[in-house]
Amino acid sequence: MKLHGSFLDSSINYEMDLEQQCVFLKICLYSLRCGMEPGIIADNDGKAIPLWYIANCIHAPANIVEETLEIGKQTNRIRENGTGCLEIVNWKHYQSEYDRQKTYREEKKNPTGLVEANRIMRARVKKLGRELTSGEMQEIRDSVQRCIEEGGSTERLINEWEARE
C-alpha cells in the first residue's frame, strides 16, 4: 500500500478525526496480512474476524476501531461483504500508483528484448570482427521485437543469429 500526496486533500480529513484516520490506514494495512486477498479482512477460511481481534492486531482501542468502521461504512470506504467480512471499498484505487508502474518496472528489467538484442549484437561483433552498422543493429532489434510479439522463442532466435555468417 502506498500513500499519495492527494491523501492530504482527501475527504477523509474532514470526515474522520486524526485517530480515526490512523485506524483506517492501519485497517488497510492489516487487510494485506490477513485473509484470502488484499483489501478484505477475513480469516484464511473467508470468515469475518471479530472487531476486538482486529483492534488488538492493529493496536488500537476497540471503540475507535468501531467508530472508524461506522464512519467508513457511511462514507463508502469500508463495507461488509456477503459473509460479514470487512472490505476496503476501491482497494485498487489505493494501489493504483503501484499497479500503474508495474508494467514500467517489468519493462525496465528487460525493455522489450533489450537483453536478447544486446546478446545477439555482441555475438555478431565477435563473429564478424567489426562493429555493426546502425542498419544491422536495427535489424537485430526488429527481429527480437517480432519474435517477442509473436510469442516465439528468443533463445531459438539467438541461436539462429549466432549461426549466421
Q: How confident is the model at residue 2 (pLDDT cuts 50, 70, 90)?
A: low
Domain 5-95 CATH class label: mainly alpha
Are 36 and 44 contacting, i.e. CB atoms less than 8 angstroms apart? Answer: yes
Residue 153, amino acid: S
> What pLDDT sits at residue 64?
95
Q: Retrieve residue 75's grid coordinates.
A: 462514507
pLDDT by residue (tens digit) across 23-61? 999 998 898 888 678 888 988 888 899 999 999 999 999
What number is the average pLDDT over the span 126-154? 84
Distance CA 97, CA 3 (A): 9
Domain boundaries, the chain: 5-95, 110-163
pLDDT by residue (tens digit) across 83-113? 889 998 887 776 655 555 665 555 555 556 7
- Global pTM exceeds 0.95: no
pLDDT by residue (tens digit) across 22-32? 999 999 889 88
> What pLDDT sits at residue 63?
95
DSSP annotation of 40: E
- Output the CA angle 26-46-2, nearest 5 degrees: 30
Measuring CA to CA, how many Å separate 137 from each of 5, 82, 164? 43, 58, 15
Are 147 and 153 contacting, i.e. CB atoms less than 8 angstroms apart? Answer: yes
